[in-house]
Amino acid sequence: MSGKKLFTRRKFLKKTLAVSAGFTIVPRFVLGGAGFTAPSDEITKAVIGVGGMGRGHLKYPGAKLLAVCDVDENHLKRALEIGGPGVEGYKDFRDVLERKDIDIVHIPTPPHWHALISVAAAEAGKDIWCEKPMTRTIGEGKKVVEAVQRNGRIFRINTWFRFQSQYYGFGTTVKPIKKVVENNLLGWPLKVTVSATTGFNWKFYWSGKTFLKPKPEPKVLDYEMWLGPAPYKPYHPHRVHNTFRGYWDYDGGGLGDMGMHYLDPVQYILDKDRTSPVEIEADCPQQHPDACGSWRRIQLKYADGCMIILDGENKDKNAAFIEGPEGKLFPGLESDIPHLKEKINSLPDPKPQVTDFIQAVRTRKKFTLNEDNAHRTCTIVNLSKIAVRLGRRLHFDPEKQLFIGDEEANRLIHQPMRAPWHL
């Protein structure tokens, strides 16, 4: 039952045993003689996973769409209609990766597929535009970072608030906040509160259902392939499209959905792109083994004393977004520091960022929201998920990226995939 369809692809059977030279060590790929084929001027892309989220990716500007891929025929059909002529449809992402004319692969699949497709894309020499959350587990995130970096790929995660747009209910962009913190106007260490008061609403409607009656698998959906590396559980429509976020097997509720959007700027502001919290604690109702539920409060502490509070109940009505020993910063740059807004004006800008992904692909410069810092942000999400599931205080080693003295928590860092899938 699991993954039996893996190698039944038509294409595969057509071409087999060919090619003359061996490794010895290594075969040489011959691409039109001894010279190098010039990279075509137009950057090209494929979108893997074209459900609700993926359809949005079809129209992202900057690269020409050549291929779409989905395990649901209806999704595929719709995407092909949107894509228009010249776009090909695939059911198996590996067929997409085999195409040599595709530069960028977008991965807006459910999160349990992100790592597998990212690693395979990196090994196939593709650059990657991956949806948030980056990976479902910390272990998978490490593998993606390794594969992307080893293969010299350009990676971006699909969140952007550290470099553009109004930062949710905070009411300004992130840049002035970064200036305030970077120039030490609030002192150190800092406490950041992410709640409805400070402008961020945790979406608990992504909770899963604890009782589902199995339903027949729809004909248009290859459920086996949809599950892929995830454990087999009987089909129910609530487990898949649009509502999969409610199940630990695929995502992590509202944390999975909004976590990286809300928290990546926090990590950037606190200058924690290269580390992770060391102590995590959650206050929440008990979580179902399968379905994600709500939580009241999650607290993450860094080694230097900086803290991130996720206030799910919006309990602290007076909370500042950032609080330091020398001042507080509220939405709209309101503050107890006199004339803060004027002060911000005279402060130097933060380091410029590489914010154009297509440019990054062309110049091979790391995109500002890349595999490194996205993995760290996603680690905040994944640490929070584990704390919520285990309901006890956890200690984490940001270097080794393992919990200290908690075997069960570590078992959630590395969760085996269903055969034949592996990283």
- Give the footprint of another protein on residues 6-65 (CB under 8 A): 6-7, 12, 15-17, 19-29, 31, 36-39
User: Of 42, 52, 59, 100, which one interacts with another protein (CB under 8 A)?
Assistant: 100
Return d(Cα 315, Cα 298) in angstroms, integer: 12
Per-residue x/- track, 202-231, another protein (CB under 8 A): --------xxxxx----------------x
Q: Kindly state whether residue 339 participates in binding another protein, applying the rule CB under 8 A.
A: no
Q: How many residues bind another protein (CB under 8 A)?
A: 85
Q: Kindly state whether residue 307 participates in binding another protein, applying the rule CB under 8 A.
A: no
Measured CA distances, 228 to 6, 43, 47, 246, 348 (Å): 10, 29, 18, 18, 49
Residue 226's φ and ψ, nearest 5 degrees, are: -60, -45
- Kindly indicate which of the ranges 106-114, 134-142, 149-157, 319-327 contains the residues binding another protein, using the contact rule CB under 8 A: 149-157
**Which residues have CB under 8 Å from 118's CB, separation 6+?**
107, 128, 130, 135, 144, 147, 148, 155
Residue 47's φ and ψ, nearest 5 degrees, are: -115, 120
- Kindly indicate which of the ranges 47-55, 68-76, 146-154, 325-333 contains the residues binding another protein, using the contact rule CB under 8 A: 146-154
How is residue 72 annotated by DSSP?
Answer: B
| Residue 402, strand partner residues | 397
| Residue placing its CB nearer to another protein in the complex, 222 or 323 | 222
Closest distance between another protein and the C-beta of residue 94, in Å?
A: 6
User: Of 85, 286, 317, 318, which one interacts with another protein (CB under 8 A)?
Assistant: 286
| Residue placing its CB nearer to another protein in the complex, 6 or 225 | 6
User: Of 84, 85, 338, 405, which one interacts with another protein (CB under 8 A)?
Assistant: 405
| Residue 396, strand partner residues | 403
Q: Kindly state whether residue 149 participates in binding another protein, applying the rule CB under 8 A.
A: yes
Q: Kindly state whether residue 407 participates in binding another protein, applying the rule CB under 8 A.
A: yes
- Kindly indicate which of the ranges 107-115, 260-268, 396-404, 408-416 contains the residues binding another protein, using the contact rule CB under 8 A: 408-416
Tokens encoding 340 = 């803060």
Round the CA-based radius of gyration of the chain to a whole number and report it. Answer: 23
Question: Hey, how many other C-beta atoms are within 10 angstroms of the C-beta on 252?
Answer: 24
**What type of residue is 186?**
L
| Residue placing its CB nearer to another protein in the complex, 63 or 306 | 63
Calculate ∠ Cα 310-314-315, nearest 5°: 105
